[in-house]
């Protein structure tokens, strides 16, 4: 019981910490403390934690994870603001530091080794904040995307299992999360980089395209709080023994196909086709991932047709 309580609290504390770092970055790039009001979005997550700990002993729900949904609600606005700000000020941060710079990382570790008292510790944190503020905007945003996706997977793993969810189903869900996170990260990083580094006419019209990409990215993130594609309401033997409807018998397969067609690969395919056809951006990786999305959509349509055909033949 104590371990479950600690895991539930630590997971939500990490959610709030990462969201707080995102808000801090927004206040720095916008140079406006008004954006600290974004922390109001943390209040529902705090209330959810209190209610879950008191009423459900920290356990999550079977079909839906309120903590993950509220975490996304708190951090997605900050990423939108950072992406749009970077889109509007691409030329203003030409001189910036890279996160993969060996010299910068070496300086931080040297500062950590030389920290021996409170005054030096304060100077270390102040210098670290100054260093982080000098990091290139694109690296900052990419790091937030990566940390967000990793924390969603690790957070779901750490949170106590919901009632009616087996460890086998949880492991399947986590594996699906890993693949989904990789696809989403590749979509945002590759597609947004195409927009930002495209021809001049593309960059002039890129704000509208960036809005579309971010909207599709936000829509695709809804796969994480919902667990319909793995968790089934009935035991498999019970489903086979009764003359249930198509949705009752194949609900897991049906929702997996729905997520693929309407939440992830379907929208990704439409955006990439728009980039290629309307904006005339074509390169090897974009063509490859477009074909990949097309294959996934086609195979899922074929899969749902096979399942429906087998169901009708029974």
Cα–Cα dist 312/309, whole Å: 5
Whether 18 contacts 151, CB under 8 Å: yes
35: DSSP letter? G
**Structure confidence at residue 252 (pLDDT):** 79
In sequence order, what are the residues at sequence separation of 6 or more whose Cβ sits closer than 8 angstroms to the Cβ of residue 205? Answer: 279
**Structure confidence at residue 278 (pLDDT):** 83
265-277 helix and 251-262 helix, angle to the nearest 10 degrees: 20
Q: What are the φ/ψ torsions at residue 135 (nearest 5 degrees)?
A: -70, 145
Among 149-158, 164-173, 193-202, 262-271, name the one with the lowest average pLDDT.
193-202
Cα–Cα dist 254/232, whole Å: 11
Q: What are 236-283's pLDDT values in tens digits?
A: 444 454 446 766 777 778 888 888 999 999 999 999 998 888 888 888
Q: Average pLDDT, stretch 194-212?
A: 67
Q: Average pLDDT, stretch 115-137?
A: 61
Cα–Cα dist 111/116, whole Å: 10
- Higher pLDDT: 208 or 305? It is 305
**Structure confidence at residue 71 (pLDDT):** 95
**Structure confidence at residue 231 (pLDDT):** 62
Whether 184 contacts 152, CB under 8 Å: no
- Higher pLDDT: 288 or 135? It is 288
- Higher pLDDT: 290 or 240? It is 290
Residue 147 has pLDDT above 80, yes or no: yes
Q: What are the φ/ψ torsions at residue 64 (nearest 5 degrees)?
A: -145, 140
**Structure confidence at residue 114 (pLDDT):** 57
Among 108-122, 139-153, 259-273, 298-312, name the one with the lowest average pLDDT.
108-122
Residue 188 has pLDDT above 80, yes or no: yes
Whether 56 contacts 5, CB under 8 Å: no
Whether 84 contacts 137, CB under 8 Å: no
- Higher pLDDT: 303 or 227? It is 303
**Structure confidence at residue 204 (pLDDT):** 55
**Structure confidence at residue 44 (pLDDT):** 93
Which region holds residue 186: left if phi is over 0, alpha if psi is between -120 and 50, else beta? alpha
Among 132-136, 156-160, 222-226, 255-259, name the one with the lowest average pLDDT.
132-136
38: DSSP letter? G
Q: What is the number of other CB atoms lying within 10 angstroms of the CB of residue 205?
A: 14
Q: What are 46-72's pLDDT values in tens digits?
A: 999 999 888 887 788 888 899 999 999
Whether 15 contacts 155, CB under 8 Å: yes
- Supply angle C-alpha 291, 142, 124, rounded to 5: 165
Whether 136 contacts 92, CB under 8 Å: no
Whether 48 contacts 66, CB under 8 Å: yes
Q: What are 24-37's pLDDT values in tens digits?
A: 999 999 989 999 99
**Structure confidence at residue 271 (pLDDT):** 93
Whether 219 contacts 205, CB under 8 Å: no
**Structure confidence at residue 307 (pLDDT):** 87
Whether 274 contacts 212, CB under 8 Å: yes
Residue 218 has pLDDT above 90, yes or no: yes
Alpha-carbon dihedral 65, 293, 185, 46, rounded to 10 degrees: -10
């Amino acid at each position: 019981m104590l371990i479950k309580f600690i895991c539930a609290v630590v997971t939500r504390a990490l959610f709030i910490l990462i969201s707080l770092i995102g808000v801090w970055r927004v206040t720095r790039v916008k140079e406006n403390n008004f954006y600290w009001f974004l922390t109001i979005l943390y209040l529902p997550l705090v209330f959810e934690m209190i209610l879950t700990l008191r009423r459900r002993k920290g356990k999550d729900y079977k079909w839906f994870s309120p903590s993950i949904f509220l975490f996304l609600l708190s951090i997605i606005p900050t990423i939108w603001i950072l992406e749009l700000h970077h889109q509007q000020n691409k030329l203003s941060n030409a001189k910036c530091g890279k996160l993969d710079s060996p010299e910068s990382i070496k300086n931080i570790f040297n500062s950590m080794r030389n920290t021996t008292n409170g005054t030096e510790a304060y100077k270390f944190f102040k210098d670290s904040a100054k260093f982080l503020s000098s990091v290139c905007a694109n690296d900052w945003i990419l790091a937030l995307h990566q940390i967000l996706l990793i924390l969603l997977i690790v957070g779901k793993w750490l949170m106590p299992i919901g009632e009616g969810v087996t460890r086998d189903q949880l492991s399947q869900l986590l594996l699906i999360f890993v693949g989904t996170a990789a696809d989403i990260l590749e979509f945002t990083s590759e597609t947004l980089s195409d927009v930002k580094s495209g021809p001049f006419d593309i960059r002039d019209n890129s704000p509208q395209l960036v809005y579309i990409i971010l909207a599709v990215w936000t829509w695709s993130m809804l796969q994480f709080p919902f667990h319909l594609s793995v968790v089934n309401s009935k035991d498999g033997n019970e489903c086979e023994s009764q003359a249930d409807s198509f949705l009752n018998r194949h609900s897991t397969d049906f929702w997996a196909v729905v997520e693929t067609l309407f939440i992830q690969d379907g929208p990704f395919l439409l955006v990439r086709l728009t980039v290629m056809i309307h904006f005339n951006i074509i390169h090897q990786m974009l063509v490859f991932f477009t074909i990949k999305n097309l294959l996934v959509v086609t195979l899922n349509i074929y899969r749902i047709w096979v399942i429906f055909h087998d169901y009708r033949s029974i």
